[in-house]
Structure 1
């Protein structure tokens, strides 16, 4: 496949936002005092170049050309090299690892509305990705990585049409394990109130690092607007992820992602979804409410409450019957367990109603 360097290759959106050093934040998410890099009308499709954090981090040498070169890669993204070599403020171990776009203002979005972020296209920018695990991180803290290695990286090739990731059965072996690629953005969000940029790792009512693998092409993420203008952003590009993301990262790979930004006015939002306290996704098949907390049990309970409230608001379903329906017909999936705040999402079949 052709590597999508900055400014080259097809752009599916109405507006293109490259991931140049002055167009991204590293390790922090936008807040109310951040100035937008773009101002667009509702319905605008913005094509974002995104950069994976894997290969540019300090414990990897902050030198993606050398890091990926050790795996035989000769065509590394110029914007990744530029960011790693820049004086962009990033405090390893204090800030998060993720590279996110600076915010995009959506005209007319007001506090109380919902910002709708619909994924139009996700094109891999490079034919490789990384899966990593670090001590103190992941579902099995202290057990992995084996041998005390600070980083486990799995190199996999991808194809332009999606294709497969690859892994060997043993370190250094031939890549005989194949798994389908499902590119998506792990981070999609709106700016928070106040003048403090949130850490990029834990998700919350603002969205952020929600890591829900269902939010692929065609899906929409709805977020309660916290700051007039919405101030939307994206980042943390993935080539594939299983629900749970247990080892720390998914298959991390830079994407060129096109996202349409729309505003759902408060009155319409209340009729369609009720009073949302946090992110809600929608696919062709499912409504996908969420629950988030550092305690996974609390996250599940919050997700159940969110679903009951949604079914009551959207369909007029009695809460007791909604609660019963969930046990009979709805799957509750672990979004991720590695982002401090754990995530759970429910999959409500729209065809049931």
Structure 2
């Protein structure tokens, strides 16, 4: 395995631009609306719309496969990771997978984000008799709020099994490209929409200065579906009002994912953020592999195998590395965002459905010594110019807190411990992979490494360390 460390201007990621592969992705970009929820085509794997096509490899005589996984009620799991699930498909190291992801906030504006989109309509179908994806979270199925209890909220596409992946290995996930999911409603052709919920779990919620206190506010944003416009704009906002779901349960606050918002019950305010342009940086807020500590785990708190760590840098051109904890890795992705600031302060980003083209590379445990992946027990993010290490309040909260860990972590989160964890990981990384002394590492960290608050809203708070690769010896 090569342990190439990119310097500024390195074209490490350009080799992913295979013309056949990118041609397929461009075609998907142009025809995404017809692909959403479509009929299984030739090469189907027996799941709703999952297809496979062989592509020539860069190595003579070898082939890789390109799979397409649409998002629909048969290909998503809502609000949890699980090592016990049946995988959607099994891939080889080197294979590519185009994966559609859907925001769990789509029902904040049904007309713009659900209507006319067959895949999203299938996921969010809910009437008085049934809902298509019943379990939403890892809680009990008879929870009074609804099946799963909303203890986990993200619509996750997957899991994907990587053949040969075993505990102790590292899974490399390259994000080759992304594209916004266009509105399926003909009234909004060529546009994409996302929702930002200033919610009861936001960092701001108990520190409001204007009345009424304790309010939750939804802001709907518009994004260019073609990706040609680099900024988003607010369309309108509204205050959350008590919503009665199709089963008759009243939701006075945002407490269960996918509750359809009755537009007749809210008062839209179109005079909001006039003239403001928000930079679009599409990324996946929730991405990772299944942990081993429990059979079913909430999608909300992030941990050592990734999950919902909400780093806006997890977009096109980035590569993520995850420690494999269970056979096959069991990779899932979701919580797509059009944009987000560090900290995700109000509780959400611009929650906006997104499709990504991924490549999976497996690094075996025996090959890790002497590389940047040696001893990796946390999600590592790499861009063309940076390495980003992720620290958490409790790096393995499932193991450290035991039963009811998803609840206990809410009481244990601290930026002090997250900062300590990020520092410890950065020091160890520099000592183990760059052969620095502790004194050298500490000095280098203080003068050249930037620490940022990844998020303070996901239960297990995060601090990330950004190491610029240009500082390394050439």
- In structure 2, which of residues 170, 180, 190 is the aligned counterpart of residue 114 of structure 1? 170
Corresponding residue for residue 172 of structure 1: 270
> Looking at CA atoms only, which structure, 1 or 2, has the larger radius of gyration?
2
| Contact 2:77/2:157, CA 8 A, preserved across alignment | yes
Corresponding residue for residue 231 of structure 1: 330
Root mean square deviation of aligned Cα: 2.5
- In structure 1, which of residues 28, 34, 37 is the aligned counterpart of residue 80 of structure 2? 28
Deviations 1:62-96 (A, max 9, x none): xxxxx332xx6785532222111133222475422
Which residues of 2 match residues 6-17 of structure 1 at below 5 A?
Answer: 7=35, 14-17=66-69
Distance 1:332 1:287, change over 3 A: same
Q: 2:300 & 2:195 partners in 1: Cα distance?
A: 18
Q: 1:93 & 1:229 partners in 2: Cα distance?
A: 28
For the residue of structure 1 that corresponds to 2:348, the secondary structure is coil
| Contact 1:6/1:19, CA 8 A, preserved across alignment | no
Q: 1:23 & 1:94 partners in 2: Cα distance?
A: 19
**Structure 1 range deviating more: 264-273 or 101-110:** 264-273
Q: 1:275 & 1:169 partners in 2: Cα distance?
A: 47
Q: Does 1:134 find its partner at 2:199? A: yes
| Contact 2:194/2:352, CA 8 A, preserved across alignment | yes
Distance 1:73 1:83, change over 3 A: closer
Q: Does 1:352 find its partner at 2:471? A: yes
- In structure 2, which of residues 18, 32, 47 is the aligned counterpart of residue 4 of structure 1? 32
Deviation at 1:303, TM superposition (A): 0.5
Deviations 1:5-42 (A, max 9, x none): 36159x9981001112121111111x221111110011
Q: 1:197 & 1:340 partners in 2: Cα distance?
A: 17
| Structure with larger RCO (C-alpha < 8 A, sep 6+) | 1
Distance 1:228 1:74, change over 3 A: closer
Total equivalences in the alignment: 339
- In structure 1, which of residues 314, 317, 335 is the aligned counterpart of residue 433 of structure 2? 314
| Contact 2:114/2:120, CA 8 A, preserved across alignment | no
Corresponding residue for residue 106 of structure 2: 55
Corresponding residue for residue 270 of structure 1: 369
Which residues of 2 match residues 68-147 of structure 1 at below 5 A?
Answer: 68-69=110-111, 76-85=116-125, 86-88=131-133, 89-90=135-136, 91=147, 93-126=149-182, 127-135=192-200, 137-144=201-208, 147=212
Is there any run of 5+ residues in structure 1 with no aligned partner, and where? Answer: 61-66
| Contact 1:132/1:152, CA 8 A, preserved across alignment | yes
User: Could you tell me the TM-score, scaled by structure 2's length?
Assistant: 0.67
Corresponding residue for residue 279 of structure 1: 379
| Contact 2:176/2:316, CA 8 A, preserved across alignment | yes
Corresponding residue for residue 63 of structure 1: none
- In structure 2, which of residues 356, 361, 368 is the aligned counterpart of residue 257 of structure 1? 356
Deviations 1:192-242 (A, max 9, x none): 225521101000011000111111111111111001111111100000011
Corresponding residue for residue 19 of structure 1: 71
Deviation at 1:248, TM superposition (A): 0.4
| Contact 1:183/1:216, CA 8 A, preserved across alignment | yes
User: Could you tell me the TM-score, scaled by structure 1's length?
Assistant: 0.89
For the residue of structure 2 that corresponds to 1:119, the secondary structure is strand
Deviation at 1:320, TM superposition (A): 1.6
Q: 2:34 & 2:124 partners in 1: Cα distance?
A: 15
Deviation at 1:55, TM superposition (A): 2.7
Q: 2:350 & 2:392 partners in 1: Cα distance?
A: 22
